[in-house]
């Protein structure tokens, strides 16, 4: 029975993240699942989905980990070298995949990945002012 529930949780969490317009925190995922599974199961499923190259983590400006779907990743190649925008007002974290910063490092430094979070006001909150 546990395996079925775990598979159902994985399916629902992936569906939530695939349909989300912004990255979701563990708390937001737990609320949207409305009792389908406990918080430990959610953490385990999120960890598994990340290892499988289906989702990635973003740490927002408040230090909260958010999760978003991957578009071009797999188990072997997991790359998120794009911007993430964290709205200071509504706290949403949005992947900005069409903007890839150019990085120039000093000699003998090798970058494998990086995480950029820009803080500001999103279009939704700008329109409401």
Q: Average pLDDT for residues 1-5, to the nearest whole number? A: 44
Question: Any residues with CB less than 8 A from the CB of 30 and at least 6 apart, and which?
Answer: 39, 42
How many domains, the chain?
1
| pLDDT at residue number 49 | 92
| pLDDT at residue number 4 | 42
Cα 124–chain centre separation? 19
| pLDDT at residue number 76 | 66
| pLDDT at residue number 3 | 45
For the question of whether the overall pTM of this predicted structure is more than 0.85, the answer is no
Q: Which residue has the tokens 């290892």?
A: 51
Q: pLDDT tens for residues 59-118? A: 888 889 999 988 766 566 656 667 889 999 998 998 887 777 778 899 999 887 777 888
| pLDDT at residue number 66 | 93
Beta strands 83-87 and 93-96 are antiparallel
Q: pLDDT tens for residues 33-52? A: 998 889 999 999 999 998 88
| pLDDT at residue number 109 | 93
| pLDDT at residue number 1 | 38
| pLDDT at residue number 75 | 64
The CA distance from 114 to 124, in Å, is: 27
Domain that holds residue 13: 2-127
Residue 5 in this model has a pLDDT that exceeds 70 = no
Q: Domain holding 29: CATH number?
A: 1.10.10.10
Q: pLDDT tens for residues 10-39? A: 999 999 999 999 999 999 999 999 988 899
């Amino acid at each position: 029975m546990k395996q079925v529930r775990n598979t159902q949780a994985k399916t629902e969490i992936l569906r939530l993240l695939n349909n989300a317009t912004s990255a979701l925190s563990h708390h937001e995922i737990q609320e949207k699942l409305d009792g389908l599974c406990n918080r430990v199961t959610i953490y385990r499923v999120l960890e598994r989905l990340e290892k499988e190259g289906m989702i990635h983590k973003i740490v927002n400006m408040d230090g909260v980990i958010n999760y978003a779907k991957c578009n071009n990743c797999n188990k072997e190649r997991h790359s998120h070298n794009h911007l993430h925008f964290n709205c200071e007002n509504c706290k949403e974290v949005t992947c900005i995949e069409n903007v890839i910063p150019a990085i120039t490092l000093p000699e003998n430094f090798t970058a494998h990945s990086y995480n950029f979070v820009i803080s500001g006001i999103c279009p939704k909150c700008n329109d409401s002012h």
